[in-house]
């Protein structure tokens, strides 16, 4: 009866009845009845566990009867396996061992309380090693990692010179692992100098485009999520992860401030951003959801999880921009007008990383001397 009441709060009555009947069949079919095992048995095969498994997961986790499905780790495992499977067969086994080494290192760092590599970083490293394996498999007749030489690594780095530092770092990491595992005798990346990383070369929005977007999100009839994501990314440099993780408990009194991610201080909201937040909260109330996140979608209204990263990214497609482009534009403006240490303290970022956003260009049209000369 407790599960029935839990399901009715999150689903319509017919669907809740189907869920209760399905759980009853799982209990009576003679299989294991431990909550964690029951949860795994309720999961549908494939990438999506299904509404029954998600509702049962929320019920068991809330009552501390099970650990949950850990869909994040399951999906990350699938992405790693797909990258390893893309490696040519005669190069694949060492790359698979390297992937396991990265995951073990990640677990050790988490247990030790140090900064662990994210799943995205691990997947990016595996993708670079996969691309290098394809490169040497196509351009040479070598079929073993032990015969790779410096010239092939240099030729691979030339293909994407702007990403040379990241690619060389991933290859060095792989060959250090291969040498310690006796897969190779010599590390071919040891004598290659690290490419110097130049200044910021990414795309940003001009003043005219920023004003157009600001008018669209403050005066136009757009989806509340589009205005909320756009304004917080454009005005407060909010990232995709920070917006997705924002919960009701992170909102300050009178919706005047929010706690974004790991930022050390609450972010005070300007009137347009506060108005966009209130519109988003009213839109959330229409779902009658128990999900505590601010950005709630039709899919997550019956769950406790955050909106997906693609949803937050593509909600800005009608405006022709992305949260990353808006955030980059704001970071360049902040670092260009303030000390990177001050910006890093406000945003909870590393000041050394923010130095890369310093541009060599000067907008002479905004200088008072240029305006005076133009008037003369």
Query: Where in the chain does DSSP place strands (E)?
Result: 257-258, 267-268
- Write down the pLDDT at residue 373: 43
- Write down the pLDDT at residue 197: 60
User: In this structure, what token pair is assigned to residue 282?
Assistant: 């009213």
Asked if residue 313 lies in contact with residue 64, where contact means CB atoms within 8 angstroms, the answer is no
**Pairwise CA distance, residues 182 & 173, whole Å:** 14
**Pairwise CA distance, residues 253 & 269, whole Å:** 11
User: In this structure, what token pair is assigned to residue 338?
Assistant: 């303030």
pLDDT string in tens for the chain (376-residue length):
888 888 888 888 888 888 888 888 888 888 888 888 887 888 887 777 888 888 888 888 888 887 877 778 888 888 999 999 999 988 999 999 999 999 999 989 988 888 888 888 999 999 999 999 999 888 777 788 888 888 888 889 888 887 888 899 999 999 999 999 888 888 888 888 876 665 666 788 889 999 999 999 998 789 999 999 999 999 999 999 999 999 999 998 888 899 998 888 899 999 999 999 999 999 999 988 889 999 999 888 888 889 988 999 999 999 999 999 999 899 888 887 787 888 888 888 777 677 777 655 555 555 565 444 444 4
- Write down the pLDDT at residue 366: 56
Task: Give long-range contacts, CB 8 A cutoff, 24+ apart: 255-259.
Answer: 255/281
- Write down the pLDDT at residue 224: 93
Alpha-carbon torsion (203, 207, 313, 76), positive or negative: positive
- Write down the pLDDT at residue 361: 52
pTM of the model: 0.72
Asked if residue 312 lies in contact with residue 244, where contact means CB atoms within 8 angstroms, the answer is yes
Question: CATH code for 207-357?
Answer: 1.10.443.10
User: In this structure, what token pair is assigned to residue 223?
Assistant: 């989806």
**Pairwise CA distance, residues 207 & 203, whole Å:** 13
- Cβ atoms < 10 Å from Cβ of 58: 20
């Amino acid at each position: 009866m407790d599960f029935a009441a839990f399901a009715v709060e999150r689903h319509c009555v017919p669907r809740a009845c189907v869920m209760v009947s399905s759980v009853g069949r799982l209990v009576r079919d003679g299989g294991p009845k431990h909550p964690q095992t029951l949860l795994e048995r309720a999961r549908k095969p494939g990438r999506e566990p299904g509404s029954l498994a998600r509702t049962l997961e929320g019920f068991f986790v809330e009552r501390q009867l099970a650990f949950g499905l850990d869909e994040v780790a399951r999906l990350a495992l699938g992405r790693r396996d797909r990258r390893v499977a893309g490696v040519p067969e005669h190069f694949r086994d060492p790359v698979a061992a390297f992937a396991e080494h990265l995951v073990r290192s990640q677990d050790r760092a988490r247990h030790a309380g140090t900064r662990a590599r994210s799943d995205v970083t691990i997947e990016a490293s595996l993708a670079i090693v996969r691309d290098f394996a394809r490169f040497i498999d196509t351009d040479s007749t070598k079929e073993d990692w032990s015969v790779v030489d410096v010239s092939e690594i240099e030729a691979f780095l030339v293909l994407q010179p702007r990403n040379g530092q990241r690619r060389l770092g991933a290859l060095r990491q792989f060959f250090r692992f291969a040498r310690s595992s006796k897969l190779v005798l010599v590390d071919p990346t040891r004598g290659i100098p690290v490419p110097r990383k130049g200044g910021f070369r990414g795309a940003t929005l001009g003043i005219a485009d920023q004003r157009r977007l600001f008018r669209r999100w403050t005066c136009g009839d757009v989806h509340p999520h589009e205005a909320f994501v756009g304004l917080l990314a454009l005005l407060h440099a909010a990232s995709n992860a920070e917006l997705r993780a924002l919960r009701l408990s992170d909102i300050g009194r009178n919706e005047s401030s929010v706690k974004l991610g790991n930022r050390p201080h609450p972010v005070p909201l300007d009137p347009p951003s506060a108005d966009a937040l209130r519109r988003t909260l009213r839109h959330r109330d229409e779902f009658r959801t128990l999900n505590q996140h601010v950005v709630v979608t039709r899919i997550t209204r019956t769950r406790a999880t955050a909106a997906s990263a693609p949803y937050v990214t593509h909600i800005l497609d009608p405006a022709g921009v992305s949260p990353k482009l808006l955030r980059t534009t704001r970071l360049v403006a902040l670092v260009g007008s303030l000390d990177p240490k001050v910006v890093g303290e406000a945003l909870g970022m590393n000041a050394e990383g923010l130095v890369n956003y310093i541009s060599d260009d000067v907008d002479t049209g905004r200088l008072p001397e240029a305006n005076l000369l133009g008037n003369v």
